[in-house]
Structure 1
Amino acid sequence: MSTPRFLTLPPGVTPTRIETPRGTFAALEALPGSGIAERGPALLVPGLTGSKEDFIAVLQTLAQSGRRIVAIDLKGQYETPGPDDRGAYACGELGADIDVLAGVIGDGEPVHLVGHSFGGLVTRAAVIDGTHRFASYTMMATGPVGITGRRAKGGRKILEEATDLGLEHLWQTRFEPEALASGVSDDIMAFLRKRMLANSPTALAAMAEQCLEIDDRTEELQEAGVPMLVLFGEHDDGWAPELQAATAERLEADCVVVPGAVHSPAVEAPETTASALVRFWNTAETLDQKSNKV
Structure 2
Amino acid sequence: MSRPPSFVPPAGARAGRLRTARGEFAVVDAPAAAGAEPRGTALLLPGFTGSKEDFNPLHGPLAARGYRTVAVDGRGQFETDGPVDDTAAYAQEELARDVLAQAEALGTPVHLLGHSLGGQIARAAVLLDHSPFRSLTLVSSGPAQISVSQQQRVKLLRDALAVMTMAEVWDTIQAMEPPEETDAGLDAGLDDREDLRRRWLGNRPAQLLATGRQLCTEPDRVAELAAVALPFHVLSGARDDTWPVPLLDDMAVRLGARRTVVEGAEHSPNCDRPLATARALADFWDDALPR
TM-score range, shorter chain: over 0.9
Q: Which residue of 1 aligns with 2:247?
A: 243
**Cα deviation, residue 68, structure 1:** 1.4
The answer on 1:269 being equivalent to 2:273 is: yes
Kept after mapping to 2: 8 A contact 1:137/1:229: yes
Kept after mapping to 1: 8 A contact 2:139/2:234: yes
Paired residue secondary structure (1:135): strand
Moved more, 163-172 or 24-33: 163-172
Paired residue secondary structure (2:288): helix
Paired residue secondary structure (1:68): strand
Amino acid in structure 1 at the alignment position of 2:135: S
Instruction: Find runs of 4+ consecutive structure 1 residues off by over 4 angstroms.
Output: none
Q: Which runs of 5+ in 2 are unaligned?
A: none
Shift of the 199–157 alpha-carbon distance from structure 1 to 2, 3 Å rule, reads: same
Kept after mapping to 2: 8 A contact 1:31/1:60: no
Q: Which residue of 2 aligns with 1:168?
A: 167
Equivalenced residues, count: 285
C-alpha RMSD over aligned residues? 1.6
Listed as ranges, the matches of 1:99-114 within 5 Å are 99-105=100-106, 107=107, 109-114=108-113
Distance in 2 of aligned mates of 1:279 and 1:87: 38
Q: Which runs of 5+ in 1 are unaligned?
A: 290-294
**Cα deviation, residue 32, structure 1:** 2.3
Distance in 2 of aligned mates of 1:215 and 1:181: 37
Q: Which residue of 1 aligns with 2:191?
A: 187
What TM-score, normalized to structure 1? 0.92
Amino acid in structure 1 at the alignment position of 2:269: P
Kept after mapping to 1: 8 A contact 2:17/2:24: yes
**Cα deviation, residue 237, structure 1:** 1.4
Q: Deviations over 1:188-212 (max 9, x none)?
A: 1101101101110010111111011
Q: Deviations over 1:209-256 (max 9, x none)?
A: 101111111011111111000001111111100101100011010000
Kept after mapping to 2: 8 A contact 1:163/1:201: no
What TM-score, normalized to structure 2? 0.93
Paired residue secondary structure (1:139): strand
The answer on 1:196 being equivalent to 2:200 is: yes
**Cα deviation, residue 6, structure 1:** 2.1
**Cα deviation, residue 177, structure 1:** 4.4
Q: Which residue of 2 aligns with 1:61?
A: 61
Distance in 2 of aligned mates of 1:123 and 1:55: 16
Amino acid in structure 1 at the alignment position of 2:58: V
Kept after mapping to 2: 8 A contact 1:162/1:202: no
Distance in 1 of aligned mates of 2:272 and 2:176: 20
Distance in 2 of aligned mates of 1:67 and 1:110: 13
Kept after mapping to 2: 8 A contact 1:139/1:230: yes
Distance in 1 of aligned mates of 2:165 and 2:252: 37
Paired residue secondary structure (1:151): helix
